[in-house]
Chains A and B, each alone.
Chain A
Amino acid sequence: MANRIEVALKPGSRDARGERIKREIEHFLHLDVEEVCTLDVYTLDTDLTKDELEQAAAGPFSDPVIQVWAIDRPLATGFDFAVEVGFRPGVTDNVGRTAREAVAYLTGRPCASGAGVYYSVQYLLKGRLSVADVEKIATGLLCNTLIQRYTILSAPDFAGKGGFPVAVPKVSGETKVEVREIDLEVSDDELMRISKDGVLALTLDEMKIIQSQYRDPKVLAGRKEFGLGAKPTDVELECLAQTWSEHCKHKIFAGTVQYEDEQGNKQEIKSLFKSFIQRTTKDVRERMGEKDFCLSVFKDNAGVIKFNDKHSLVFKVETHNSPSALDPYGGALTGIVGVNRDPFGTGIGSKLIFNTDVFCFADPFYAKPLPSRLLHPRRIYEGVVEGVEHGGNKSGIPTVNGSLVFDDRFAGKPLVFCGTAGFMPAVVNGLPGYEKSIKPGDLIVMTGGRIGKDGIHGATFSSEELNENSPVTAVQIGDPITQKRMFDFLIRARDKGLYRFITDNGAGGLSSSIGEMAGECGGCRMDLAKAPLKYPGLNPWEILISEAQERMSLAVPPEQIDEFLAMAVRFGVEATVLGEFTDNGVFHMLYGEQTVAWLPMDFMHEGLPPMQLPAKWIPPQHEEPVLEEKVEYTDDLKQLLSALNICSKESVVRRYDHEVQGGSVVKPFTGVANDGPSDAAVVRPLLDSFEGVVTAHGICPRFSDIDTYHMTANAVDEALRNYVAVGGSLDLVAGLDNFCWCDPVQSDKTPDGAYKMAQLVRSNQALYDVCMDYNLPLISGKDSMKNDFYDGTTKISIPPTLLFSVIGKIDDTRKAVTMDAKRPGDIVYLLGKTADELGGSEYLALSGVIGNKIPKVDTVKAYQRYKAYHDAVNQGTVASCHDLSDGGLAVAAAESAFAGGFGVAIDLSRLLWKGDAAGKNDCTLLFSESASRHLVTVHPEKRDQFEAIMSGNCFASIGVVTEGQELSITGLNGGTVVKADLVELKEAWQKTLREL
């Protein structure tokens, strides 16, 4: 019989969780509630005796100082409605899993198989609420019905029933394991129906390629040997759909593009990836020659570069957009713990040293109606922030750098970028750490979590637009602790040389990881019946493509397997041998004795012809705003400081542990009150060395409304100028590109596909051009190409977005520079020229205008200046440096001043100007977002040295740091155009998101 243990706070103990829910009910749902109390509920489907239940309740399940407990008896009193929320059957229940383990320790005997402990939360609501109100609270706030279930009881019902009945959310595994054959000798319409109904996301052309493969007599003969007929099995079809999904195969980046520019010049581009991204790296590396620091690029889960002679750096940035749209918390949590596995599974394995996060949301205060399937941006914001918080903090990896970017089009799909860097020995057991291999005969081993129905069709579903019918099972919930345990074990197994190859199980699950591993040696034979399952009843195809989390796949030499498995047991990690690698050219899946998939490797990986993609660039023309000259811009500056894209994100950043591992040198916040926004992060991965890692990023989707070429150039420049600002070296720095696009494939649903494709081409062109000039090899990246929402009537496409991340080195972290003004009397310099470039700026966005005059990057001059600036940093002449980006000079100066706690006085007439003098006025000088500029302060005694180092570059002394507590800017005609107290400016900057 199942039992319920309820745990409640003692009277007088503060219920922080209840208070937060109360605030959110009032804020989100505009309902008044008097009080919200919460209880923890454990449902035990176990064989515990009464004594043992009491020991569990009094021991691990409750805190005697602040809590009381009861077994099979309700504790709730004094409420009007009770809502209980737990997980749906089969959904990852981390608390339940820990509780089950605790019970096993307590009783000294393992839990019987099938026994379980399930966690739920009871919310007690007090106030004048209707049933409909409570229903709204339950579904709108307390419960995500995709993954959770809820029950509502009014106080009288609760009393009548004696509380909530015991309900065990166990998966009833009645499904009979079966393998279906699918008849592809059908009409085209029928082929498409098969693809659509099965969430296979295969096009008609692709279905027909599969159809003809199964007509090939040689293939049929091969299949016959293993008892398979002429029809593909569901395992095979699902495996092909996963392998060929946009998510895994990157068909758009691999496709052939017919590009036509605005002058009608036509060009055929065979693979954007090869033509631009890979070529960038190749060409930069060639030019670097002996100074080349790239070790492993584009071929592994993450890129690897040299750090010093003994260590290498690993970096990867991923997105997890579609799952985060459906379940923001679970999707984002899975995003961060998922990207952790990339560097961990790179080379022979690396230790994880930091995370980075960039989130793109719609306005959290959005007040217009939304299509029914979309969650409110504020809920996405809350969920994503919390998911990444839990994933990062619990994994013990500092979150050192990030951004929040706002644009209402991200209501269609939020973008959740998560990055993780790793650190590996240059040599592991005598071999380069970034290399790995598989020999035929090596065993296929899966470690970590078990397989369930979670995350089925994740790869194919994210290859489509979000729609009404997006599948529930595509969502997973991460479990950072299971993963951490696995990492603790595997990093030790690595050092003992117990495995030969490691990779992660991400999108596509075993189908993807084993499929790719089999490519290393030429085949595999795996028994899906051996895979450990969360609950019975999974069909073989589900086992193969499930994206259940926290799993790594390894190749273990047979002679090491005993030691590997024994060590896994000691560390409490599940490890299972599923089969072996072969060299017979076949991806061979069994279920017990029966062959369920027999796929020639060359067909899986090479069978798909490139997509044909039209692209036509027609530059958009926006209305050019006429800006009236103002006498005074103080109010405009304050408005800008409060704008979502500029304002302080401290309420979010403080929730992320940015200091764990002890290596933090430049933190996200700096300055006299620890609240000024740093440009980049500096971390020491080795605590007994002063060598540091620097990371930064650039992202500016607003510019895509004008031209993605310049959007991209600005993003790359922003990343590098942030990196340079804190002292990053230009001799060892690499880039990562993450493209998040709206669907660029011309179709009925996307009539403007050729334009969006042209935007993608232009972005790639800029990536090559700028990275070449900046000597930036690209070492890894990812694309996510279907960031649209479409429910048949409303379509929301995100603005094309490139996140450009950089990682590199600072030789001596003690020379790092922060952005806060340091001392009165310091000289203020602006490095770089300013131009009439307000197009796509935050300033124009204040009045809802886009404009056309997009900032253009002068890469040659910028690079030369960055190098000189780096020398200036190395020689200790720079007191502070802040990059100019959103909001231009005025915002940067305000931030530098209030972060430092000193005034700044600037004279706009001293700025260097570029281009037509007609556009030069106070407004453009203050707010133009011209690229490649830094605001630097220098102690007077270092003035000569600084200027000597910088000579030959565009820079000008434009003002001074003052004792007074105000920002004062003099306009071109000598009048004061900005004058404001630092307290006011800081308040304007901090107030917007402070309470979120």
Chain B
Amino acid sequence: MKQTRAIVITGNGTNCEMEAAHACRLGGFDEAVIAHIAEILSGEIRLDDFHFLNLTGGFLDGDDLGSAKAQANRLKNAAVVGCDEKLVEQFTRFIADGKLILGVCNGFQLMVKMGMLPGWDGNYLNQTVTLTHNDCGRFQDRWTYLQVDSSSPSVFTRGIDKGIYLPVRHGEGKFLCDSDATLARIEDGHLAVLRYSGADYAEATMEFPANPNGSTNAIAALCDPTGRLMGLMPHPEAFVHYTQHPRWTREELPEEGDGLILYKNAAEYVRNNLV
């Protein structure tokens, strides 16, 4: 059987590569490679050799021009050494090949700012939504309840019953659309995979701190219409074992954390469809 291979891109300020790779392995990938962007730009490592691309949390370029802006510019314009292509072509080919991309936090910011999400009509380089400064004006590290849209096409969230509990750790997580039409199209397509909610996952909420940033329609995650590309502000890789839960010393919890299902689903999808 062919190997299922995940890649985690690091460098220029990404922070969560180690735990993202760990989550991939735990979720069932045969291999999870942490690749520095320098190794990709130098041609040593090619995206084509992988099935699942992880864009992780961090502060790409210090978020100096707005979160992930400088990296979006780099990925769009930088050339790969030793061949005639720009890096962005490896990305679009990766998507065209039907492979999976998961952007978490800064990775989600990168995906929307490159225009990969919501990715309508096969156009993955057209920005229509953004993630900007939290309404509270501050970075926040806190745990959030996330109600799942079970009608969403996302391959990552299959099998989630009502919702999942994950930490957010960001200063720029407020989701905004360029127009009402964009928002309506997201909602009609069930692309808003996760929403900040109360502890029972029943109702989406705009109330701080349950909704830590004031996102439109409490949107915490977004996928493309194929469901193979997804971005989310909360950190699934930060909850793959019960000891990461803030109340594990007082609650009876299963061994696995809520975030692991995203990686399990990814691994299963790859095994069934891409190898």
Contact = CB atoms under 8 A, between A and B. Distances in A.
Interface of A: 13-14, 16-17, 19-20, 59-61, 63-66, 94-95, 97-99, 101-102, 105-106, 108, 389, 393-396, 479-481, 484-485, 488, 492, 570-572, 654-667, 669-672, 674, 684, 687-688, 690, 813-814, 816-818, 820, 822, 880, 900
A394 B68 CA distance: 12
Nearest to A104: B77
B12 A65 contact: no
B2 interface: no
Nearest to A682: B243
Contacts of A481: 12-13, 59, 61-62, 64
A662 B237 contact: yes
Contacts of B137: 16-17, 19-20
A394 B77 contact: no
A817 B246 CA distance: 12
Given A484-B13, A654-B140, A662-B237, A65 B249 contact: no
B85 interface: no
Given A16-B133, A687-B19, A659 B141 contact: yes
6 contacts: A13-B176, A16-B136, A102-B73, A105-B74, A105-B77, A659-B235
Contacts of A63: 66, 69, 113, 127, 130, 132
A688 B64 contact: no
Contact of A66 (B39, B57, B132): B132
Interface of B: 10-16, 18-19, 22, 36, 38-39, 42, 57-59, 61-66, 69-70, 72-74, 76-79, 113, 127-130, 132-143, 167, 169, 176-178, 214, 235, 237-238, 240, 243-244, 246-247, 249-250
The B interface, classified by DSSP as helix, strand, loop or mixed, is: mixed
Nearest to A684: B243
A663 B241 CA distance: 10
A333 to B, nearest CB: 11
B22 A687 contact: yes
B247 A106 contact: no
A818 B249 CA distance: 7
Given A60-B72, A108-B77, A817-B249, A95 B65 contact: yes
A662 B244 contact: yes
Nearest to B242: A814
A670 B142 CA distance: 11
A136 to B, nearest CB: 22
B241 to A, nearest CB: 8
A569 to B, nearest CB: 9
A49 to B, nearest CB: 16
Given A481-B62, A659-B141, A900-B250, A64 B178 contact: yes
Given A94-B64, A659-B169, 12 more contacts: A61-B69, A65-B128, A65-B129, A65-B177, A106-B77, A108-B79, A393-B59, A572-B12, A664-B238, A666-B249, A690-B243, A822-B249
A485 B13 CA distance: 7
A396 B238 CA distance: 13
B22 A657 contact: no
B46 to A, nearest CB: 16
A61 B143 contact: no
Contacts of A655: 138-141
B180 to A, nearest CB: 12
A480 B62 contact: yes
B62 A98 contact: yes
Contacts of B77: 105-106, 108
Which residue among B79, B137, B246 has the maximum number of chain A CB atoms within 10 Å of its CB? Answer: B246
Nearest to A666: B249
Given A65-B176, A687-B19, A657 B133 contact: no
Please name the 4 residue pairs, one residue from A and one from B, whose CB atoms are nearest each other, closest first: A396-B15, A662-B19, A98-B64, A65-B130
A660 B246 contact: no
Contacts of B238: 659-660, 662, 664
Nearest to A96: B64
A816 B249 contact: yes
Contacts of A393: 59, 139, 169
Nearest to A95: B64
Contact of A59 (B16, B73, B249): B73
Contacts of B113: 63
B148 to A, nearest CB: 22
Contact of B244 (A94, A101, A659, A822): A659
Nearest to A396: B15
Contact of B141 (A59, A570, A654, A814): A654
A108 B76 CA distance: 11
A64 B36 contact: no
A822 B250 contact: yes
A61 B65 contact: yes
Contacts of A657: 139, 141, 169
Contacts of B136: 16
Contacts of B18: 661-662, 687
Nearest to A101: B70
Contact of B64 (A99, A105, A570, A880): A99
Contact of B73 (A14, A105, A817): A105
A97 B249 CA distance: 45
A570 B61 CA distance: 17
Interface centre among B177, B235, B240, B247, by most chain A C-beta atoms within 10 angstroms, is B247
B16 A662 contact: yes
Contacts of A106: 73, 77
Nearest to A64: B127
Among B65, B66, B129, which residue has the most Cβ atoms of chain A within 10 A? B65
A670 to B, nearest CB: 6
A674 to B, nearest CB: 5
B249 A670 contact: yes
Nearest to A20: B137
A880 B250 CA distance: 9
Contacts of B135: 14, 16
Contacts of A98: 61-62, 64-65, 70
Contacts of A64: 127, 178
Nearest to B75: A105
Contact of B143 (A102, A105, A674): A674
A670 B167 CA distance: 14
Nearest to A99: B65
Nearest to B86: A108
A485 B12 contact: yes
Contact of A672 (B14, B61, B169, B250): B250
